[in-house]
Amino acid sequence: MFHRGDTLTGEVHALDEWILVEPEARRAHWRSFLASTPGRLSVLAVVLVAAALAAGVVTATVNDARQRDIDSLRTHAESLADAGQSLYSALSIADAAATTSFIFGGTEPVEVRERYNQAVGDAANALVTAANGIPAADADAAGLLSEVSRRFAEYTSLIATARANDRSGNPVAITYLDNASALMQGTILPLAHRLCTDQWKSVATTQMRTTRLPVAALAVTASALIALVLAHIYLTRKSRRLLHPGLIVAALLMAGLLVWSVAAFGVSASAGARARTDGTQPLSALVTARILAQQARADEMLGVLRRGSDSQSEVDFSRHTTVAAKILGQHRNNSQGSVADAPVTEAVAALDGWRSAHTVLQHRLVNGDYPGAAALAVGPGEGASTARFSALDEALRSALDRLASAERAATITAYRATSPLTVGALVIGVLCGFAVGGGIWPRLNEYH
């Protein structure tokens, strides 16, 4: 007979629980959770919150970069381009005024000398303004300014020497004047033109970049909105509930961000395009026309000083005025209600009158009537070259002022249109994330 005590031993056997649960089943627990409805709703909530935050962050980031470009354009690039064209114009005016003063034989009127001094001062101010506005990394522009400054000092020294000799009645004064004018026309103005052109190109490039719609930001926002709508449809079918307030609020917030972004970026892009087409492009062209007119004036004065013996001055005058007339004609043909239409029309009439007066002046020089030619060149009469040229320069300056004002106004509009969007997009993205949580959390609670 078997006795229970016969089988007792001193060993205690413990049950290993791990052998009752398969390791694979333990590892697949998270998979079974994700396959369940609560798991799917949790993943859906995470994805929607991430999409909402991504829409806000991407929109804010893109807009912030855009705002920095426009602000740089408004406070730096445009002012530097203006300084470049002011420098170019002041140099041309100084050259024309210096040449004009020699026709009076050392006793030039006060207004002529003041015009030269004013032009020299304007050129110096433009050099300082441009130097302060050039970024430290722009070595080319800094080198151009340095060379212009050095050469301009040499030019003013030659003009001072020429004036001193002219007052003393030394014929060598004309030689110094020729050297100074050659330095200005052959070296200084080309350097200034290159600086001016480079800055206008930089402005145009930045404007082109700011007139493009940010497709990436709009696409992310639209995708987030679509995801929210689809999520609401899915949750409606899953829970048998028609409305989910949290998701509806999130969808409305995202739709508001999309509409706001499209409207703001659209207004900004339109204003930027207007600043380029109605401001920068015609402004650059008319700046060139004014500079050509200043150079033609210097050519005319040199021709009178040489008593018509230098055919090159006449060739240069004809070339400069022809190109200026072509630019003004193109502006009139292409303009569609530009703010500069009226002064450009006045400039065209003044240029035609100036060229007619110059033809009479040249006829007098050919006939040996130097006093008559000089009187027509610098005389006070309304039909004289001085009056005609002054009317042309004043009309061009008025046109430039109007175009610059229109460009600045359009750039400010482009900046203000999207100014609140950076912060607004982030706020909407965060609120949308909370709304998503508020919409899905009640459905999750139903499974607890």
The mean-pLDDT minimum among 39-48, 392-401, 437-446 falls in: 437-446
pLDDT 10s digits, 295-317: 888 888 888 887 767 778 888 89
Please, which pLDDT band fits residue 220 given cuts at 50, 70 and 90? very high
What is the pLDDT, as a whole number, of residue 370? 84
What is the pLDDT, as a whole number, of residue 5? 47
What is the pLDDT, as a whole number, of residue 20? 47
Question: Is it the case that residue 3 has pLDDT exceeding 70?
Answer: no
Sign of CA dihedral 301, 307, 313, 318: positive
pLDDT 10s digits, 11-43: 555 545 544 444 554 545 656 655 566 667 778
- Provide mean pLDDT across the span 218-241: 87
- Provide mean pLDDT across the span 314-327: 92
What is the pLDDT, as a whole number, of residue 380? 76
What is the pLDDT, as a whole number, of residue 375? 82
What is the pLDDT, as a whole number, of residue 1? 45
The mean-pLDDT minimum among 92-106, 317-331, 417-431 falls in: 92-106
What is the pLDDT, as a whole number, of residue 144? 83
pLDDT 10s digits, 82-115: 777 788 888 888 887 887 777 776 566 777 778 8
Please, which pLDDT band fits residue 232 given cuts at 50, 70 and 90? confident
Comparing 20 with 387, which gets the higher pLDDT? 387
- Percent of the chain beyond pLDDT 90? 27
Question: Is it the case that residue 235 has pLDDT exceeding 70?
Answer: yes
Arithmetic mean of pLDDT over the chain? 82
Comparing 324 with 245, which gets the higher pLDDT? 324
The mean-pLDDT minimum among 36-40, 233-237, 320-324, 437-441 falls in: 36-40
**Annotated domain spans of the chain:** 38-445
- Provide mean pLDDT across the span 333-338: 78
Return the HEC string of 150-200.
HHHHHHHHHHHHHHHHHHCCCCHHHHHHHHHHHHHHHHHHHHHHHHHHHHH
What is the pLDDT, as a whole number, of residue 119? 85
> Tokens 């009645």 map to which residue?
169
- Provide mean pLDDT across the span 399-411: 88
Buried b (16+ CB within 10 A) or exposed e, 37-68: eebebeebbeebbebbbebbbbbbbbbeebbe
What is the pLDDT, as a whole number, of residue 259? 96
What is the pLDDT, as a whole number, of residue 350? 93
What is the pLDDT, as a whole number, of residue 111? 76
What is the pLDDT, as a whole number, of residue 328? 93
What is the pLDDT, as a whole number, of residue 45? 85
Q: How many CB atoms lie within 10 A of CB 159?
A: 26
Question: Is it the case that residue 10 has pLDDT exceeding 60?
Answer: no
- Provide mean pLDDT across the span 192-199: 80
Measured CA to CA, the distance from residue 20 to residue 211 in angstroms comes to 68
pLDDT 10s digits, 271-298: 988 888 888 888 888 888 888 888 888 8
- Percent of the chain beyond pLDDT 70? 86
Q: Which range has highest mean pLDDT (82-86, 132-136, 260-264, 378-382)?
A: 260-264
Please, which pLDDT band fits residue 447 given cuts at 50, 70 and 90? low
User: What are all long-range contacts of 316-325, with beta carbons under 8 Å and residues at least 24 apart?
Assistant: 317/358, 320/292, 320/293, 320/295, 320/296, 321/292, 321/293, 321/296, 321/351, 321/354, 321/355, 321/358, 323/289, 323/292, 324/289, 324/292, 324/293, 324/296, 324/351, 325/351, 325/352, 325/355
Question: Is it the case that residue 182 has pLDDT exceeding 80?
Answer: yes
Comparing 7 with 327, which gets the higher pLDDT? 327
